[in-house]
Every structure is written in structure tokens, then in C-alpha cells.
Amino acid sequence: MTHILFNLRKLLFPILVIGTLACLTPSPTQAKDTWISVRTKNFTLVGNASEKEIRQVATRLEQFRDVFTRLLKGAKFETPVPTTVIVFKSMSSYKPFNIGGYFQKCDEVNYITLSTELGGQNPYSIIYHEFVHLLVDNNLGNVPPWFNEGLAEYYSTFEIEEDRKVHLGELIPYHLQTLREDKLLPLRTLFAVDHYSPYYNEGRKRGVFYAESWALVHYLILSNNGQHFPQLSQFLNLTDEGVAMDRSEFPILFTFHRRA
């Protein structure tokens, strides 16, 4: 786990409530949903959640972005197209569209979708997870799914304490439970997972993939005071170029199971 201190005052940025966008009638027995839009400097948020909840999501996103512009000074945070965040008030209203958080890159706009109702899970972890996908897409382009999801999960635990102390790399209990109870994937299997793989799309298999991806990225970033991170960068560059992985060149990746 990493703790980072900032002289960070509360972010004061304009949040503009645009007003009612639409009224939906899912069924005759349900009341109409009022959809409103909230606009900040870097995001447009649309949702059927309450104005207070949408404002909270907007604040968290701007805080997250502000801190990461300080942490990653060389990263590209400006996007060529705007980002719209769709905030559903409940899982029941979200279920027809998706389950969990979602990031979609498009030619004219990027979309992040989420629900503020997650049954005990911190809904902001979904926000951070999906925003990391946007940052990865801006800065790294096509990266392996295990790295993309593992990094997003690593940063999903982001917290700001008293507006000046940032917590990164917290342990995620449900991932730890999955790693204890399920058989780990061989690393070559993990590295070969793509967006069409059962390990990326199917229930329990997906849980193992996410948990192991998170654990591997967590280990490579934090173990031995971060001395493995340059090797991880080299590995990603070669993977992007289509170079086959060599156990002798990247022993730290292939000894993860024994050390974990």
C-alpha cells in the first residue's frame, strides 16, 4: 500500500446542473425517472440518480483526475473527445444495460457507466476503475487485458484523507478470497486472455482473471520498493510489438505464483 501526501485543498470547481433531460416509463407500475445532467470542467454526467449523488460522483472524478495529474506528470490527460458519465440510481435500472461499471471508447465521445447502488461495495471504486481505462487508452493504447484490468483494480482503492493524504494500493478483500479459494491460472493462460475469452466474460472464471490480474500488477508495482516496474514497462512494450515472452528475460513474471 502506498500513502502520498499533498497540500491539497478541497477542489472548488463549477458543477453546473443542466436540468431535466428526459422522463422514462419502464413499466406502467413504475414512476417516471427524471434524468438530469451535471457538467464539470472535464466531464458531463447524466443520470437518473439524485442530483446529490451525481454531484458526488462528479466531485470524486475531478479529485481523482486532479491527483493523478500531480502523480503522473508525463501522462496525457486531455482526451480528443469529451467524456460522458452515465449514473444509474440502482442496479435494477442499470441491469438492462450492463452489470457493474463499463468504459466505452467512441469516435465522438467516451462513455463511463455505473450505478451508485452496489450492495456494500464502494461505488466510487467503479468510477476510479473505469477512469483508469480511459487514462490507459490515452497513454498506452493497446495493452493486454490482464494489465489493463489489473491496473484499474489497483487504482480502484484510491482514497483521499482530509483532502491531503492519498491512499493507493489497498488490499481488496474479495480478490484475496478468490485467490485463496480458486486455483490460479497459469501465467501463460492469464497473458493470453483477450476480450472474447471465457476468463474475461464468464462469471467465476472472470472473477479469477480479475483477482489474479490485480494481484500480479499489485506485486509488480509495490514489491521490493517498486524495483520491478521498469521490467514491467519493458514487458508491455515488447507485448505491444508482438514479441514472444521469454521466461529467461522476464523471470519475475513467471515466478509470481511461487511468491504469491
Distance CA 144, CA 194 (A): 7
What CATH number labels 1-141? 3.30.2010.30
Query: Position 19: which residue type?
Result: G
**Start and end residues for every CATH 3.30.2010.30 domain found in the chain:** 1-141
Contacts of residue 17, Cβ cutoff 8 Å, sequence gap at least 6? 36, 37, 38, 51
Q: At what angle do helices 123-139 and 145-155 cross, to 10 degrees?
A: 130
Whole-number Cα distances in Å, 38 to 20, 41, 57, 87: 10, 10, 10, 10
Regarding predicted confidence, which is higher, 81 or 253? 81
Check residue 28 and give its pLDDT. Answer: 43
Q: Which of 101, 201, 221, 204 is nearest to 150 (CA)?
A: 221
Check residue 59 and give its pLDDT. Answer: 87
Distance CA 113, CA 47 (A): 9
Asked if pLDDT for residue 194 goes beyond 80, the answer is yes
Q: Which of 150, 146, 226, 153 is nearest to 188 (CA)?
A: 146
Asked if pLDDT for residue 260 goes beyond 70, the answer is no
Q: What is the model's pTM?
A: 0.73
Three-state DSSP state, 38: strand
Q: Which of 111, 137, 139, 124 is nearest to 170 (CA)?
A: 124
Please provide the distance, in angstroms rounded to a whole number, between the alpha carbons at the two ends of the chain.
16
Asked if pLDDT for residue 256 goes beyond 90, the answer is no
Check residue 25 and give its pLDDT. Answer: 39
Residue pointed to by grid coordinates 437518473: 48
Q: In this prediction, what percent of the chain has a pLDDT beyond 70?
A: 70
